[in-house]
Homo-oligomer: A and B are copies of this chain.
Amino acid sequence: MGNTALLEKDFHNLLKEQNAYREAIMLTVWDMRTKIPKKGVEQRSWVVGFLSEKLHQLETSERMKHFIDMLKDSVDDEVMKKTVEECEETYERNRKIPAEEYKEYVMLQSKSESIWQEAREKADFSLFQPYLEDLVEYNKKFANYWGYDENIYDALLHEYEPGVTTKMLDKVFPELRNSLTTLVEKINQSKTKPDPAILSGHFPKKNQEAFSVEILKRMGYDFASGRLDETIHPFAIGINMNDVRVTTRYDEEDFRMAVFGTIHEGGHALYEQNISQKLRSTPLATGTSMGIHESQSLFWENFIGRNKSFWESHYDLFKSYAPNHFGHVSLDNFYQAVNEVKASFIRIEADELTYPLHIMVRYELEKALINGDIHVSDLPHLWNEKMVDYLGIEPPSDREGVLQDIHWAGGDFGYFPSYALGYMYAAQFQHTMENELNLNECIATGNFDQIRQWLTANIHQYGKMKKPLEIIKDVTNEQLNPDYLVSYLSKKYTDIYNL
């Protein structure tokens, strides 16, 4: 072996070590959210912390720095090149934060999450406020360590959606917001009212689970490389490339939770299951960003799962799992009911049309916080104001308002935009896909293989080989463009509500 070959081999060993820690962490996280007995949690939390520290040490080690320096300009192989770049980015980003501050921050995160839980239960923002103030200060400090060109908030956005800037968001988000609020107003004035009462009934967990498994299989989710479990807050997780698990939640009084939740998480899982094996044991073997990930889950959940053609082909199947229901409910009425638009306080319970408005509230507030334009103490008040402005409803307490999401309690600022970005990406992908294959016929005939293969060929396989905006450009031949989402929603809801 030549010198470079030897070096690459050693570098690969380091990557494999990192992956081993990552895999152990992921498995532990999955277990803690699905299986762990109550009393085991405390000690296990410590273990996750320990393993994360070990991973962090490797990512920022002198050994890593050595490989980066030696390989950066000498490797030819494309995968190796991107791998070194990815490692360098992680190295630089983490090294910029003084070890002591990082440690304090990790402890603050953990403490804040438990205080936030208490505050939410008691609907008492004042308990959480001092912790949130500290979290904001740390994030501002980190953003300055990391650096940015125009807006301090960009430095945080970068963590979740590299390449996307505040400037870009401030161009597309208001357009999206205005279009949606106008649409919501029209819907509110419409005389057509879907009747969600026809969806009510008792749906045994067992049947919901069997239907969930069936749908996942039809989507092309590989159960030999994954499994489905029950949890409280559904998620999908890649433990290794061939072990990508889905979780869902069964509400026996409302099937929508499990059906649309499973399809959503299934969309995330398909992404992770179909990354090219060429990226194995590199840090590139995962979804490229939060936004692109969300584009996959939302594509399946909304553009397929809430599509009329989907229910044309799957209503009978669904009814076979709910044998005592829907006998007299027409497909049209069913379809309209599962697409009812109704302003709600809680983001994760929102319909697909008002959902982005929830994101706007959060984006505008966190951007202002990080820029020092507002204070943490202003949040409850401003939150409620924006809810009234965009959705026309005011949360009865902070539990249904500013305290509902865990993100800020975990120090995750810059994350929320990914949800709306992902939604816009999904609409752009859908538009392109429609030009390349008969999407509606695929959905109407349940031929999901073609759809999944398209997604794999255009998105999944690349993992982190391409940055999010590179994927958008390569696939759609356009920049980020909110028009497709607006047009999709306008068309769909004009039809449903006879606007």
Contact = CB atoms under 8 A, between A and B. Distances in A.
Contacts of A23: 43-44, 47
Given A40-B225, A40-B239, A40-B243, A47 B35 contact: no
A226 B44 CA distance: 13
Contacts of A46: 16, 20
Interface stretch (A24-32, A64-72, A297-305, A466-474): A24-32
A31 B47 CA distance: 16
Interface residues of A, number: 33
A40 B240 contact: yes
A38 interface: yes
Contacts of A239: 40, 44
Nearest to A223: B37
A66 to B, nearest CB: 21
Contacts of A499: none
A51 interface: yes
A50 interface: yes
A27 B43 CA distance: 13
B47 A24 contact: yes
A340 interface: no
Contact of A225 (B24, B39, B224): B39
A42 interface: yes
Nearest to A281: B43
Contacts of A42: 242
Given A27-B28, A31-B31, A224 B39 contact: yes
B20 A50 contact: yes
B43 A240 contact: yes
Nearest to A225: B39
